[in-house]
């Protein structure tokens, strides 16, 4: 639980795939909320948390299951508004004296249209103005009798209890998911809910910045903080915010593994040193990393070597400045949400992700994580608030192992140089055509094959490369970007003409799954 002085809303998670979206909708309305799995929400948790309102999420369970997940009874006696979504509606009815039936033959998935029933409800301001509302259903069981005190306010052909409420107690429930995109007017429903719960919408980035600065000062005192700055949005925003709070008590280390893109190291060091006046060590360790990676082809081995050396190098530079009391990290809220697992089994490791995750255990330092409450788009908003340049905040993600995983098979310095040049031309093309912000991530991979070509009157025998560009919401799934043939043709011509060493350009049209975004 996070210490925060704003009114807070508690989302009790029963394991729906879309619980995070509820938090997003609320944050967009400037409401502070936290998601906690139902297992941790006890009576004493509720008392300490002190929510101004509670939302019960959806989830895959059935109220008929043995030990069916449920909130503590106190949720319904605290005198705060409660909103139940899908499974949240069913468990609410089950606990308050209604009835739920098993889903045999009545399961419903996908789009439905809800029509207004019985009278007005403040929760539904702005709903039904133009007739029935499109919603998204996804449920097996369903409510068959509502609890005493409840009335029906919306129905759909298959859901007679699509929207129900007990206005006297401020209890509301929907069978559908208002948080998803396919319920186009769903955000309005959340806005109405928080308004009637008395939230003032004071969770703004300006307020967040001031509070975060106070909190960092209180935590750090006159201690020293060290931060691994990668040049990515998260670590950059964290560093600038911490620097604003404690000035030169912060030292940043930029570990340059020689696997950065063209001019990247210079851009990062110039911006942070000159523009932000931030104490920054540029640890140019490219020799160390590239030597260790020589003749390594296996993707996992590459990742492990880079991860290990990163920690060693960081420790060395931390020791050189006489150590530090705190380690700063750009951890985000999605990284700290404990998710509810119903499968319980370990998931398969597709790739060992490299980030600074291993550092805290090794270095035994207290953590300063000023972005722990934020989603990625909120970090970007905070970055803008702190004056970071727009082109920097909107940058595509770049993986910790850098170009190593865009150079399948053996990494050589000449191949890296060719890759950097090709990548720079490709990104320049994307920017020139105004496509950069429509794409989640775009890069070139250099392929471990050489192919025959003809340029002028001569034969060439050079590398082939693959262009990659994907759209995605969170990097978990992705689609290839549908460039026009003209764009692809022009880009291939430019790369072949401007980058010696490449004579063939291909476009990767694999989505994720079955592919991954990076090539290794």
**Residues involved in catalysis:** 86, 177, 179
Q: How far is the CB of 467 from ligand XMP (least distance, A)?
A: 15
Indicate whether 401 belongs to the interface with ligand XMP (CB under 6 A): yes
* Closest by CA position to 114, among listed 58, 157, 83: 157
Stretch in the footprint of ligand XMP (CB under 6 A) among 234-242, 449-457, 459-467, 510-518: 510-518
The Cα 44–Cα 474 span in angstroms is 34
Indicate whether 397 belongs to the interface with ligand XMP (CB under 6 A): yes
Q: How far is the CB of 516 from ligand XMP (least distance, A)?
A: 3
The Cα 379–Cα 371 span in angstroms is 7
Closer residue to ligand XMP, CB minimum distance, 354 or 504: 354
Q: Which two tokens stand for residue 495?
A: 């790369």
Closer residue to ligand XMP, CB minimum distance, 122 or 397: 397
Q: Is the peptide bond before 514 cis (omega within 30 degrees of 0)?
A: yes
Closer residue to ligand XMP, CB minimum distance, 354 or 415: 354
Q: Which of 51, 399, 402, 408 touches ligand XMP (CB under 6 A)?
A: 399
Indicate whether 512 belongs to the interface with ligand XMP (CB under 6 A): yes
**Taking a C-beta distance cutoff of 8 angstroms, is the pair 517, 472 a contact?**
yes
How many CB atoms are closer than 10 A to CB 168?
7
Closer residue to ligand XMP, CB minimum distance, 45 or 440: 440
x-or-dash pattern for ligand XMP, window 418-447, by CB under 6 A? -----------------------x------
Binding residues among 331-370 for ligand XMP as defined by CB under 6 A: 351, 353-355
Q: How far is the CB of 401 from ligand XMP (least distance, A)?
A: 5
Q: How far is the CB of 466 from ligand XMP (least distance, A)?
A: 14
x-or-dash pattern for ligand XMP, window 463-482, by CB under 6 A? ------------x-------
Q: Which of 98, 186, 299, 400 touches ligand XMP (CB under 6 A)?
A: 400
Sign, Cα dihedral of 192, 193, 198, 201: negative
Q: How far is the CB of 189 from ligand XMP (least distance, A)?
A: 32
Q: 270-279 long-range contacts, Cβ below 8 Å, gap at least 24? A: 271/389, 271/392, 272/229, 272/236, 272/239, 276/240, 276/243, 278/239, 278/240, 278/243, 278/250, 278/252, 279/248, 279/250, 279/251, 279/252
Per the document, the length of the chain is 520
The Cα 376–Cα 473 span in angstroms is 11
How many CB atoms are closer than 10 A to CB 18?
17
- The alpha carbon of residue 192 and the mean position of all alpha carbons in its chain are separated, in whole angstroms, by 26
Indicate whether 518 belongs to the interface with ligand XMP (CB under 6 A): yes
Q: Which residues contact ligand XMP by CB under 6 A?
A: 351, 353-355, 397, 399-401, 441, 475, 512, 516-518
């Amino acid at each position: 639980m996070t210490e925060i002085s704003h009114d807070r809303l508690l989302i009790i998670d029963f394991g729906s795939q879309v619980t995070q979206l509820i938090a997003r909708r609320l944050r967009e309305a400037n409401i502070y909320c936290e998601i906690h799995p139902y297992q941790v929400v006890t009576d004493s948790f509720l008392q300490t948390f002190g929510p101004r309102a509670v939302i019960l999420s959806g989830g895959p369970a059935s109220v008929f299951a043995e030990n069916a997940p449920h909130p503590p009874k106190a949720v319904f006696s605290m005198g705060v508004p409660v909103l139940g979504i899908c499974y949240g509606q069913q468990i609410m009815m089950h606990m308050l004296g209604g009835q739920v039936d098993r889903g045999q033959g009545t399961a419903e998935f996908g789009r439905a249209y809800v029509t207004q029933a019985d009278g007005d409800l403040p929760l539904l301001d702005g709903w039904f103005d133009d007739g029935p509302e499109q919603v998204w259903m996804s449920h097996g069981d369903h409510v068959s009798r509502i609890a005493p005190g409840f009335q029906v306010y919306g129905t759909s052909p298959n859901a007679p209890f699509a929207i129900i409420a007990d206005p006297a107690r401020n209890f509301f429930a929907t069978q559908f998911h208002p948080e998803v995109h396919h319920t186009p007017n769903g955000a309005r429903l959340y806005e109405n809910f928080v308004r009637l719960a008395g939230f003032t919408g004071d969770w703004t980035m300006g307020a967040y910045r001031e509070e975060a600065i106070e909190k960092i000062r209180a935590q750090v005192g006159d201690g020293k903080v060290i931060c691994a700055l990668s040049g990515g949005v998260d670590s950059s925003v964290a560093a600038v915010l911490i620097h604003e709070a404690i000035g030169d008590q912060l030292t940043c280390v930029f570990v340059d593994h020689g696997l950065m893109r063209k001019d990247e190291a210079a851009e990062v060091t110039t911006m942070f040193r000159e523009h932000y006046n931030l104490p920054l060590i540029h640890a140019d360790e490219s020799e160390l990393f590239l030597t260790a990676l020589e003749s390594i082809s296996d993707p996992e081995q590459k990742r492990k070597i880079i991860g290990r050396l990163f920690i060693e190098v960081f420790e060395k530079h931390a020791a050189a400045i006489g150590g530090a009391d705190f380690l700063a990290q750009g951890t985000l809220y999605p990284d700290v949400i404990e998710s509810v697992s119903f499968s319980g089994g370990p998931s398969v490791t597709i790739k060992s992700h490299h980030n600074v995750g291993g550092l805290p255990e090794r270095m035994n330092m207290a953590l300063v994580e000023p972005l722990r409450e934020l989603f990625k788009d909120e970090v970007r908003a905070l970055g803008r608030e702190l004056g970071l340049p727009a082109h920097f905040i909107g940058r595509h993600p770049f993986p910790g192992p850098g170009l190593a995983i865009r150079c399948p098979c053996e990494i050589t310095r000449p191949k890296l140089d060719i890759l950097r040049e090709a990548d720079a031309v490709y990104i320049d093309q994307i920017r020139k055509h105004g496509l950069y912000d429509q794409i989640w991530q775009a890069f070139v991979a250099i392929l471990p094959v050489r192919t025959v070509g003809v340029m002028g009157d001569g034969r060439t025998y050079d590398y082939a490369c693959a262009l990659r560009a994907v759209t995605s919401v969170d990097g978990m799934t992705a689609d290839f970007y549908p460039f026009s043939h003209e764009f692809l043709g022009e880009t291939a011509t430019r790369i072949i003409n401007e980058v010696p060493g490449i004579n063939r350009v291909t476009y990767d049209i694999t989505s994720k799954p079955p592919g991954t975004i990076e090539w290794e």
